[in-house]
Amino acid sequence: MIRAVIVMNTQGKPRLLKFYEFQPPEKQQELTRSVFAGQGALLSGRPDNVSNFVEADAIFGPVIFSSLLFVSFVAEITKKKKQEEFKEGTRLVYKHLATLYFVFVFDSCENELAMLDLIQVLVETLDRCFKNVCELDIVFNFNKMHTILDEIIFGGQVLETSSERVLKAVEEISRLEKSSSSVSFVPKSVSGRFGR
């Protein structure tokens, strides 16, 4: 499964953080920092013409809840085996576009090349959504960004890979949001008053 999506700029400032397994804010910062400039200078230290994959076991460690909880009630011994298995294979794929790094962190159940294309889907969608997207769009509309991301990845699994359909869903959401807010905004506040 996908464990995290990180978007940050070339100075290592986070622009969007989404962790699919809970991490406290400090931990999120720490992980982001070490992705950007961790041991062996991760993203910031990589030249342009190298592969987009990095093994990230050292940073992210084993999968915390998903499979371990399950295994724990099967048997102690297999648990240990499993644990070791999961320690291996946390990888990240990144894409460097202009001033931004798009980083997907995922475990051994996903295919690197496919993840690379998923980044492509995300970026394409953003580009269509904001028309020539740039860092600022992402900074100011990061709630919209979350909406888009939620249409692509859901609970750590790939939900949709067609940027048209993502776009359609997002547009529908904003349309409905607008209509519902214009309809319900005033009456609700009034009725709320009277309700009390």
Partner 1 sequence: MEQLKTIGRELAIGSHGGWGQSKEFLDLVKSIGEARSKAEEDRIILREVESLRRRIAEPDVPRRKMKEYIIRLVYAEMLGHDASFGYIHAVKMTHDDALPLKRTGYLAVTLFLSEDHDLIILIVNTIQKDLRSDNYLVVCAALAAVCKLINEETIPAVLPQVVDLLAHPKEAVRRKAVMALHRFYQRSPASVSHLRLCDNDPGVMGATLCPLFDLISADVNSYKDLVISFVGILKQVAERRLPKTYDYHQMAAPFIQIKLLKILALLGSGDKQASGHMYNVLGDIFRKCEQSSNIGNAVLYESICCVSSIYPNAKLLEAAAEATSNDSHNLKYMGVDALGRLIRINPDIAEEHQLAVIDCLEDPDDTLKRKTFELLYKMTKPTNVEVIVDRMIEYMINISDNHYKTEIASRCVELAEQFAPTNEWFIRTMNKVFEHAGDLVNVRVAHNLMRLIAEGFGEDDEGAESQLRSSAVDSYLRILGEPKLPSLFLQVICWVLGEYGTADGKYPAAYIIGKLCDVTEALLCDDTVKAYAISAIMKICAFEISEGRKVEMLPECQSLIDELSTSHSTDLQQRAYELQALLCLESQAVESVMPLDASCEDIEIDKNLTFLKDFVQQSIENGARPYIPESERSGTSNVSNFKSQYQHEASSHMLRFEAYELPRPSPAHVIPQVSVPTPIADFFPVPETTYNSETSQASKLSSVADASSAAHGIKLHLDGVQRRWGRPTYSSSSGPSSTTSTEKTTNGVTHIDGVGSQSRDKLNESRRQQPEVSAEKQKLAASLFGGSAGKTEKKATSTQRAPKGNTRNAERPGVSRSVSPETSKEKAAPSVPDLLDLGEPNPTSTTIVDPFKQLEGLVGPTPVPSPLDNSVKTSGLETPDLMAAVYTDLPPSGSSSGSLTSTTRDMHSADKTSNTATSEPSIKKGPFPQDSLRKDARARQVGVTPTRNNPNLFKDLLG
Residues numbered 8 to 67 that lie near partner 1 (CB under 8 A) are 9, 13-14, 16-18, 20, 22, 24-26, 28-29, 39-40, 46-47, 50-55, 57-58, 65-67
CA 135 – CA 185 distance, rounded (Å)? 32
Distances (CA, A) of 29 to 26, 62, 79, 105: 5, 18, 30, 15
CA 52 – CA 121 distance, rounded (Å)? 16
The single-letter DSSP state of residue 102 is: E
Nearer to partner 1, 46 or 83 (CB): 46
Count of chain residues binding partner 1 (CB under 8 A)? 90
Q: Could you say whether residue 157 binds partner 1 (CB under 8 A)?
A: yes
Q: Can you tell me which of 132, 194, 195, 196 binds partner 1, judged by CB under 8 A? A: 132
Map the footprint of partner 1 across residues 65-94, applying CB under 8 A.
65-67, 69-70, 73-75, 78, 81
Q: Could you say whether residue 171 binds partner 1 (CB under 8 A)?
A: no
Q: Could you say whether residue 162 binds partner 1 (CB under 8 A)?
A: yes
Nearer to partner 1, 83 or 150 (CB): 150
Q: Can you tell me which of 62, 79, 83, 137 binds partner 1, judged by CB under 8 A? A: 137
Q: What is the CA radius of gyration of the chain?
A: 20
Give 82's contacts (C-beta < 8 A, 6+ positions apart): 67, 68, 71
Q: Could you say whether residue 169 binds partner 1 (CB under 8 A)?
A: yes
Distances (CA, A) of 151 to 15, 156, 158, 183: 18, 11, 9, 25
